[in-house]
Structure 1
Amino acid sequence: MGIEVPMIVVTLFWAAIGGLGPFLVPRNTDRGLVRTMLVLTAVCCYMFWLVAYLCQLNPLFGPRMDAKVLIAMQREWS
């Protein structure tokens, strides 16, 4: 399973929450606030997931060591 399937599924899920959710809110005095909360929740959760997912695709490299340090480690630890 490549990167496309999770990206499409999660994007569609949060797009449905942020796009369709506000239209399902019943009429009351706080309707605008609830709509705003739904959209902001969908955007924030999606962005958090996207950053966490993309960071796992390209992890940070470990520390870079000098050749002298590597030789010393090999000599001392083996």
Structure 2
Amino acid sequence: MGGASVFWFGVLVAGLCAGALFMFKGKEDPTLWRTCTILSLACCYLMWALTYLAQLHPIIVPKRDDLRIDI
């Protein structure tokens, strides 16, 4: 797995957002339902993608402390 999974999951979320545009036609207030659904999907995707990419390429590389030479 790598950065490609972020792209493909983004394509899936974009498809779900496009589907949400047509899903709420019969509801009482479709604009509110569409807006809430698309914003929720977008925010969840961004949080997941940023967390996943931060773990793939960390800014600060951890250092091991157990490599000290005892004198």
**TM-score by shorter chain over 0.5:** yes
Shift of 1:29: 2.0
Moved beyond 6 Å, runs of 4+:
none
Which consecutive residues of structure 1, in runs of 5 or more, have no partner in the other structure?
A: 66-72
Shift of 1:56: 1.1
Higher relative contact order (CA 8 A, sep 6+): 2
Equivalent pairs counted in the alignment come to: 69
Q: Percent identity?
A: 27
Which consecutive residues of structure 2, in runs of 5 or more, have no partner in the other structure?
A: none
Normalising by structure 2, we get a TM-score of 0.73
Normalising by structure 1, we get a TM-score of 0.68
Hey, what's the Cα distance between the residues in 1 that align with 2:32 and 2:2?
A: 38
RMSD of Structure 2 on Structure 1 (CA): 2.5
Contact 2:3 2:53 in 1 (8 A): no
Which structure shows the higher helix fraction?
Answer: 1
Q: Residue 69 of structure 2 aligns to a residue in which SS?
A: helix
Larger C-alpha radius of gyration, 1 or 2? Answer: 1
